[in-house]
Amino acid sequence: MEGAKGTVCVTGGAGYLASWLIMRLLQRGYSVHGTFRSDQKFKEDISHVVSLPEASGKLKFFEADLGNPESFDAAINGCVGVFHVAHPIDLEDKIDIDKIIKISMDGTLGILKSCLKSKTVKRVIHTSSIAAALMINNRNDVQEIDESSWSEVDFMRSVKAPGISYCISKTITERAALEFGEKHGLDVVTLLPSSILGPFIGSNIPVGFPFALPVVFGTEELRNFLKESSLVHIDDIASTQIFLFESPNAKGRYICSAKDVLVHETAKYLSIKYPELQISTQSPSLMQDAKPLHLSSKKLLDLGFTFKYGLEEMIDGAIQCSKEKGLL
Ligand SMILES: NC(=O)c1ccc[n+]([C@@H]2O[C@H](COP(=O)([O-])OP(=O)(O)OC[C@H]3O[C@@H](n4cnc5c(N)ncnc54)[C@H](OP(=O)(O)O)[C@@H]3O)[C@@H](O)[C@H]2O)c1
């Protein structure tokens, strides 16, 4: 039986954000078509999503791969909306950057073409990243980033930083998605989350946690590199996606970030609340007196969204969930 609000498609349905989003969409009365990669090499266990209490009769999974753009047709057919969440994430920069860009671009444009073909999709919520706004040459002169800022591709290609292929592919793909929407009269809204933190329903540590909470989940390289992070709770991001889908006046890009914080501050909180994790607050890489860059969510707040979760709930959600699942 179809949910009262119609059927929507969520790409990359087994992932951290997508699985949480599917849970919230089902609870809100939508039926969901999730997509997952069929290749045995990538096949993610989707049992954590299909076993959600609200899933029975309302959730169907389809095999689809960004490397095969037309494979999304079946999942999108008959849907009123598409939440495009899947992205080839290679935060360790192991895969050739142009290969990542091609998969992301071909897959995203294929999904948008499937939306046009369906004739039923009213809006696409494309999940971009703050990485598509943040990587600018003159960043030291800037105190605040808003939606007018676009990461500079030539600059990014010239710097060495962890996860740079991710930043480049997110930037190029978001631009292409917005341009496709303009050109073909398809309503495409893009969402730029900062680092997402909080509990998770999958069985592995989410791939972005090393960037969100480097002092707990990051490599030494990352711990030395990252001085500040901007964070948002997983439930606030899923709510934002649904809010943007349902808001008649949503248009263009939206940054969604609840808290800008120095890594030193999170290290201090963690060392007091979770002494067993033995977090050091003395590392020379932890700046104690700087002011973090502000990522402005004003456009989203002006549209009527309100954040529900603060920093402690994000950190506690992530740590406690990791412990409960025996991952920390
Ligand atoms: N986590 C964050 O802090 C953060 C912040 C800003 C933006 N975002 C964006 O949010 C989205 C979700 O990220 P996440 O943190 O939830 O990561 P995730 O758990 O790794 O989810 C990514 C999903 O994309 C799928 N995918 C990767 N390559 C694919 C391909 N070639 N074809 C089809 N599906 C493919 C993955 O499928 P497999 O399971 O088969 O690998 C996975 O389900 C991404 O677009 C990411 O850029 C995340």
CA of 14 to the centre of ligand 1 (A): 9
Average pLDDT over residues 30-50: 84
Residue that has been written with the tokens 């996860």 in this structure:
163
**Structure letter (DSSP) for residue 65:** B
Rounded Cα–Cα distance for residues 24 and 18 (Å): 10
Is the pLDDT score of 282 beyond 80? no
Average pLDDT over residues 56-76: 96
Q: Which atom of ligand 1 is nearest to the CA of 166?
A: 47
| pLDDT at site 181 | 98
Which amino acid belongs to residue 269? Y
By three-state DSSP, how is residue 239 classified? helix
**59 with 52: CB under 8 angstroms?**
yes
Q: Which atom of ligand 1 is nearest to the CA of 103?
A: 31
CB atoms within 10 A of CB 249: 6
CA of 45 to the centre of ligand 1 (A): 14
Question: Whose C-alpha lies nearest to ligand 1, atom 18?
Answer: 15
pLDDT in tens, 18-32: 999 999 999 999 999
Q: Would you say the C-alpha torsion 138, 140, 142, 148 has a positive or negative sign?
A: positive
Is the pLDDT score of 227 beyond 90? no
CA of 287 to the centre of ligand 1 (A): 30
Specify the pairing of strand 252-256 against strand 294-295. unpaired
Is the pLDDT score of 220 beyond 90? no
CA of 219 to the centre of ligand 1 (A): 20
Burial of 278 (0-12, 13-18, 19+ CB in 10 A): exposed
CA of 323 to the centre of ligand 1 (A): 23
CATH 1.10.10.10 given to domain 7-197+231-258+293-309: no
pLDDT in tens, 153-198: 999 999 888 889 999 999 999 999 999 999 999 999 999 999 999 9
- Taking all residues of the chain, what is their mean pLDDT, rounded to a whole number? 93
Is the pLDDT score of 302 beyond 70? yes
| pLDDT at site 53 | 92
| Chain-centre distance for alpha carbon 141 | 27
Q: State phi, psi for 32 to the nearest 5 degrees.
A: -130, 135
| Residue of 11, 21, 37, 195 to test ligand 1 pocket, by largest number of atoms within 8 Å of CB | 37
| pLDDT at site 44 | 65
